[in-house]
């Protein structure tokens, strides 16, 4: 599973691929217009057959990049097709100085969108050499001054697009670094939160709870203290609830599935709905504390807002990482109400989503069916923020 920085860069590259695929349609149109305006030099139907084939390629490539992102190597193949098509069409139109050679200017511009200065420089040089090849074919002869002027313009465009690609690549690198810093900060915050919860739980368990237990033992020895003893025992139960909420020791001792089952049964008992927890025992994972906190937050939201009768919780490992799924048959979530709550400062779900995405995970909320289905995935085999150890590598 990729990190937020990698996903952001992939999104930029996918957007660039879609942009260049649209520009390719413009390139096809420019070549067709140039051939139509300079028909005296277009030899036979060969020009139009090649142009039609290139147009089909442009349509097919647009469909391809719309369906899924392409790799840099595949993108380079498309740029090669562009360059070969323009060169062949220019030769079929009569060689250097003909109107179709104007299309060479577009190719370095398309390459600049790929955030790769080396690729941009290579495409610029290849474009100039291809233009020189077409200039060697002159039917009828073309004024040398015109050819030199066109070559100079094409060189200027190639240099400008190379510099543009350098700027874009530097910005992409900076964005990647900023997102990586944000990932690291998120991990540190989660680690600090876990340490603080553990410290508070230990303080309550080792001091306040022990004091109350001692007081309870002393009350057992007195007569007529039933009311005080009951109040004391209620206080002990409440403190134990707080200790479990702050730091679930069962997570360390029995694992994620048992800990989630424990908190699910506790919330279900308090809220009055039935709960089913599916999942075999799982090995310790680097983000188990985060998943446990997310499960507790989501189950609490169900108890407060869903008015559900039954809730299903599933935990399992998948090729994409560790997956938590919570389904309820409640009233669902109105997107408009959720947006309004976020605007009013209720950021529970937004905060949960940010924490999951901060470790490279995904958080999806589906309210199309009756009730609500929430699916959370976190990566496996990544370094644990608290220990630096790599799990599952």
Residue 110: its pLDDT value, please?
Answer: 84
What separation in angstroms does the CA of 122 have from each of 56, 128, 131, 166, 219?
Answer: 26, 10, 14, 13, 86
What separation in angstroms does the CA of 77 have from each of 18, 72, 380?
Answer: 15, 9, 34
- pLDDT (tens digit, 0 to 9) for every residue of the chain, 393 residues total? 455 666 666 777 777 778 888 888 888 888 888 877 776 666 668 888 989 999 999 998 888 888 776 666 677 788 889 899 988 888 887 776 677 888 888 888 888 877 778 888 888 898 888 888 887 776 556 667 777 888 888 888 888 888 888 887 888 778 777 777 766 666 666 666 666 666 666 666 666 666 666 666 666 666 556 666 666 766 666 666 666 655 566 777 788 998 899 889 989 988 899 999 998 889 988 888 889 889 988 998 899 888 899 999 999 999 889 999 999 998 877 666 655 554 554 456 777 887 788 788 888 888 776 788 999 999 886 444 333 333 333
Residue 160: its pLDDT value, please?
Answer: 87
Q: What's the token pair of residue 63?
A: 């469909």
Residue 387: its pLDDT value, please?
Answer: 35
| Residue 378: CA count within 13 A, CB half-sphere | 25
Contact status, residue 378 vs residue 359, Cβ threshold 8 Å: yes
Q: Give the three-state DSSP class for 315.
A: strand
Which residues does residue 324 pair with via DSSP β-bridges, in sequence order?
315, 376
Residue 36: its pLDDT value, please?
Answer: 79
Q: The dihedral of CA 73, 74, 79, 81: what is its sign? A: positive
Query: What pTM was estimated for this model as a whole?
Result: 0.50
Residue 386: its pLDDT value, please?
Answer: 38
Distance, CA of 369 to chain centre: 25
Q: What's the token pair of residue 115?
A: 């955030």
Residue 200: its pLDDT value, please?
Answer: 67
Q: What's the token pair of residue 296?
A: 């507790």
What separation in angstroms does the CA of 115 have from each of 22, 170, 357?
Answer: 17, 8, 25
Q: The dihedral of CA 125, 129, 134, 135: what is its sign? A: positive
């Amino acid at each position: 599973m990729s990190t937020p920085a990698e996903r952001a860069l992939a999104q930029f590259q996918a957007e660039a691929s879609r942009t260049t695929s649209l520009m390719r349609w413009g390139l096809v149109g420019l070549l067709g217009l140039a051939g139509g305006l300079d028909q005296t030099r277009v030899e036979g139907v060969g020009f139009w057959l090649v142009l039609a084939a290139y147009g089909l390629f442009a349509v097919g490539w647009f469909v391809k990049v719309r369906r899924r992102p392409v790799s840099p190597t595949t993108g380079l193949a498309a740029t090669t097709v562009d360059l070969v098509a323009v060169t062949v069409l220019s030769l079929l139109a009569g060689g250097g100085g003909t109107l179709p050679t104007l299309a060479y200017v577009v190719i370095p511009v398309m390459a600049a969108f790929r955030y790769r200065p080396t690729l941009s420089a290579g495409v610029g040089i290849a474009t100039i050499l291809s233009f020189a090849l077409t200039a060697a074919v002159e039917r009828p002869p073309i004024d040398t001054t015109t050819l030199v002027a066109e070559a100079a313009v094409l060189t200027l465009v190639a240099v400008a697009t190379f510099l543009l690609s350098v700027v874009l690549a530097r910005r992409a690198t900076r964005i990647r670094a900023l997102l990586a810093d944000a990932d690291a900060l998120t991990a540190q915050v989660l680690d600090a939160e876990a340490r603080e919860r553990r410290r508070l739980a230990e303080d309550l368990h080792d001091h306040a709870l022990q004091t109350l237990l001692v007081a309870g033992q002393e009350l057992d020895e007195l007569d007529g203290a039933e009311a005080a003893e009951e109040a004391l025992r209620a206080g002990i139960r409440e403190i134990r609830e707080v200790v479990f909420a702050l730091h679930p020791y069962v997570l360390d001792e029995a694992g994620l599935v048992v800990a989630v089952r424990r908190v699910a049964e506790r919330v279900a008992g308090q809220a009055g709905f039935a709960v089913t927890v599916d999942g075999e025992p799982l090995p310790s994972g680097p983000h188990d504390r985060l998943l446990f906190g997310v499960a507790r937050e989501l189950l609490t939201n169900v108890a407060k807002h869903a008015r559900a009768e039954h809730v299903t919780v599933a935990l399992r490992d998948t090729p994409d990482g560790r997956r938590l799924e919570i389904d309820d048959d409640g009233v669902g979530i109105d997107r408009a109400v959720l947006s309004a709550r976020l605007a009013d400062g209720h950021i529970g779900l937004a905060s949960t989503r940010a924490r999951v995405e901060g470790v490279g995970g995904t958080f999806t909320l589906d309210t199309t069916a009756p009730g609500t289905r929430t699916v959370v995935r976190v990566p496996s085999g990544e370094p644990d923020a608290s220990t630096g150890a790599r799990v599952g590598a």
